[in-house]
A = this chain, B = another copy of it.
């Protein structure tokens, strides 16, 4: 009879392999690497080989966890939306302050510009495959939820969503970074707060 927790291998730092855990970790590594590759070279740059190299694992690992390249992109997209949701939730504990929102957004855009570009690229990719559209709907619902915290007017919510999408897109396309002040001006304007 064993009273030990059922899934603790040898517990100590043995010479063993730790496969299942490493497997999960590698999967995560691959998805992060995919986003980085997309950010650098677009969806077109995503290949099993490129992603595996970026993640620092043998090519076969990529083909094992994601048999087709499309699987890699779909999983990376799903993961991105989750990460985006988490970032938003962390940035806005329950604040109704547009200044805080603008600061957080500007910082995020400045720090993770490439990641942002990658997300847009993945969204465009998803727009062309019906099976991935639900993910886009999830993302949009998330944004609308945020907007709802600032105004109850449905038109204002729509305008807010559109303006935020547009600002993020401009941040990606523009050469200079978007400042928090610029963002806040637009956000306040759209919310009729001035």
Contact = CB atoms under 8 A, between A and B. Distances in A.
Interface of A: 40-44, 117, 120-121, 123-128, 133, 136-137, 140, 155-156, 158-159, 161-167, 169-170, 172-175, 182, 185-186, 189-190, 192
Most buried by B among A125, A166, A182, A186: A166
Contacts of A155: 185-186, 189
A54 B189 CA distance: 45
Contact of A163 (B123, B128, B163, B182): B163
Contact of A170 (B42, B140, B170, B192): B140
7 contacts: A42-B124, A42-B128, A120-B120, A123-B173, A124-B172, A127-B172, A162-B165
Given A159-B189, A163-B162, A173 B128 contact: no
A185 B160 CA distance: 12
Contacts of A121: 124
A135 to B, nearest CB: 10
Count of chain copies: 2
Given A42-B124, A124-B172, 5 more contacts: A41-B128, A127-B173, A140-B173, A155-B189, A161-B166
Contacts of A156: 189
Contacts of A165: 162, 165-166, 169-170
A176 to B, nearest CB: 11
A182 B43 CA distance: 31
A115 B89 CA distance: 35
A186 B192 CA distance: 12
B117 A127 contact: yes
Contacts of A186: 155, 158-159, 162
Given A44-B42, A124-B124, A170 B161 contact: yes
